[in-house]
Structure 1
């Protein structure tokens, strides 16, 4: 389980505990934060980008493809009707056209991509009194 709570310092800064790891989320000064860390929507974009890179790297390694690096850039745009993620993937290495196409298909199968592309439900309960 991931735990989030207000950090001792900062106006909106949050401490996020993920297993043995701790990261920070905040908001820019323009919306009342102190800009001490990425914002929640930036963390969501980072989750998609890192999941894509890890998934593609793991599959290329398993298939013994000459992939040296995967570089991913993600941006997000919210409209009245939807939220659109734009993802650019750069595959570094002496890959054939067929290998590149295969790995592009694998990118669309990363777990975060599947979550964001599927139906999402959020159950919320209020704890304490």
Structure 2
């Protein structure tokens, strides 16, 4: 399954991430003391949901042989006081009708990352 390692040194708050054979950099913006050399943690979270949504809907359209030319998932993490939620807006391009688009929106509610976020999950922390 998925695995990532993150390491940070003394440069606020630049973090090296290795996942699979990919290397990423995460950071915070200047307002939080970082240098904005990479996405912040919540940007990575929304990126994961957006990517999973787009990939799943592309797979679904291919399996159904629907003429979808592009899928866009615009995902925003919103915090209002002590409440938080995610807004997701889908744009589906191609020769698909309103009913097919509605079906794809229904499928978006059941993508793997969507279900994980909606269901919550236990996080077990230990010291090495």
The answer, yes or no, to whether TM exceeds 0.5 is yes
For 1:100 and 1:78, the matched residues in 2 are separated by: 28
For structure 1, list consecutive stretches of 5 or more residues without a partner in the other structure. Answer: none
For 1:118 and 1:31, the matched residues in 2 are separated by: 30
SS at match of 2:23: strand
Deviation of the 1:80 alpha carbon:
4.2
Deviation of the 1:82 alpha carbon:
3.1
For 1:45 and 1:92, the matched residues in 2 are separated by: 21
What is residue 75 of structure 2 aligned with on the other side? 74
For structure 2, list consecutive stretches of 5 or more residues without a partner in the other structure. Answer: none
SS at match of 1:23: strand
Deviation of the 1:97 alpha carbon:
1.7
Query: Which piece of structure 1 moves more, 66-75 or 117-126?
Result: 117-126
SS at match of 2:66: coil
- Cα distance change of structure 1 residues 16 and 92 upon mapping to structure 2, 3 Å threshold: same
For 1:21 and 1:7, the matched residues in 2 are separated by: 19
- CA root-mean-square deviation: 1.4
Q: How many residues align?
A: 126
Dislocated runs of 4+, deviation >4 Å: none
SS at match of 2:122: coil
What is residue 118 of structure 1 aligned with on the other side? 119
What is residue 99 of structure 1 aligned with on the other side? 100
1:9-88 pair list within 5 angstroms: 10-88=11-89
What TM-score does the superposition give when structure 1 sets the normalisation length? 0.92
